[in-house]
């Protein structure tokens, strides 16, 4: 499945709030070729298993998806993150624009995230994987730079 088609399947599921991580493979099924296995792997399963923090957010600031790595970075479990709004996770980003626009405008930059203990997590946010300007969702990865930046200040 081409990447664009894959995101065309994932984005509506995220917007609809379908966060179930379901892997359709069952033991005992006929073995698939490696390419067929990759093509049939559900995108939400892949996103959850990424070892880097991943976050999907809608225009109104609803957090649609956060993987375990993102939750760990901000000191919360994924359900707690998904119950939050954009302004509760992102520290000092404009709240008067759509969350998707703000994420696009800050792609590739350092952002401040609020940790559960109240401290600030400094992370570089990637460009959204959803590239169309009219996509109602932004899906980004994060690189936690807090410790590195703190060490450089010393």
For residue 25, being part of any structural domain is answered with: no
Domain assignment of residue 58, yes or no: yes
Share of the chain above pLDDT 90, in %: 62
DSSP 85: B
10 within some domain: no
**For residue 113, is it within any domain?**
yes
Q: What is the CATH number of the domain that holds 103?
A: 3.30.450.20
Is 98 part of any domain? yes
Residue 57 lies in a domain: yes
* Residue 7 maps to a domain: no
Q: List beta partners, residue 125.
A: 142
Report the number of distinct structural domains present in the chain: 1
Q: List, for residues 8-48, the tens digit of each pLDDT value.
A: 445 555 555 555 555 555 555 567 889 998 888 999 999 99
2-19 confidence digits (pLDDT tens): 444 444 445 555 555 555
Q: What is the pTM of this model?
A: 0.77
Say if residues 45 and 65 touch (Cβ distance below 8 Å).
Answer: no
What domain range is 59 assigned to?
A: 34-144
Tens of pLDDT, residue by residue over 85-127, are 999 999 988 877 899 999 999 999 999 999 999 999 999 999 9
101 assigned to some structural domain: yes
């Amino acid at each position: 499945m081409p990447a664009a088609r894959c995101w065309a399947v994932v984005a509506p599921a995220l917007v609809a709030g379908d966060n179930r991580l379901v892997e359709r493979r069952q033991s005992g099924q006929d073995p698939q070729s490696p390419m067929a296995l990759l093509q049939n792997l559900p995108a939400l399963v892949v996103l959850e298993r990424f070892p880097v923090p991943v976050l999907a957010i809608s225009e109104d600031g609803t957090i649609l998806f956060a993987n375990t790595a993102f939750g760990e970075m901000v000191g919360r479990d994924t359900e707690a993150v998904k119950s939050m709004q954009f302004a509760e996770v992102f520290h000092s980003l404009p709240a008067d624009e759509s969350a998707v626009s703000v994420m696009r405008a800050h792609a590739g930059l350092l952002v401040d995230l609020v940790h559960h203990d109240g401290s600030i997590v400094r992370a570089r946010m990637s460009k959204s994987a959803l590239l169309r300007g009219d996509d109602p969702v932004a899906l980004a990865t994060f690189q936690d730079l807090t410790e590195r930046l703190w060490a450089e200040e010393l």
